[in-house]
Amino acid sequence: ISKTDDSLKPADRLHVEYDRDKFAGIVVDPTTEPELYDFIETIKAGKRKYIEYPSEQLTYFARRIYELRKN
């Protein structure tokens, strides 16, 4: 996420998006984006926390979720 697209840090963006509707409004195809799908399902189930993911992955997940919300 660039500064022009989103002013929040990746973990903060993920918290905002999760708090919005627990990721219920995010539709991800598990065959085309399995990592993002697994991340969303794992977070929804409470099996892992954001801190457990590498920062590169968090940045990617935050960017994709932000993009999916905009569309």
Query: Is residue 4 scored above 50 in pLDDT?
Result: no
Q: Sorting pLDDT into bands at 50, 70 and 90, what band is 7?
A: confident
Gyration radius from the chain CA atoms: 11
Residue 3: predicted pLDDT: 42
16-71 confidence digits (pLDDT tens) = 999 999 999 999 999 999 999 999 999 999 999 999 999 999 999 999 999 998 87
Residue 62: predicted pLDDT: 94
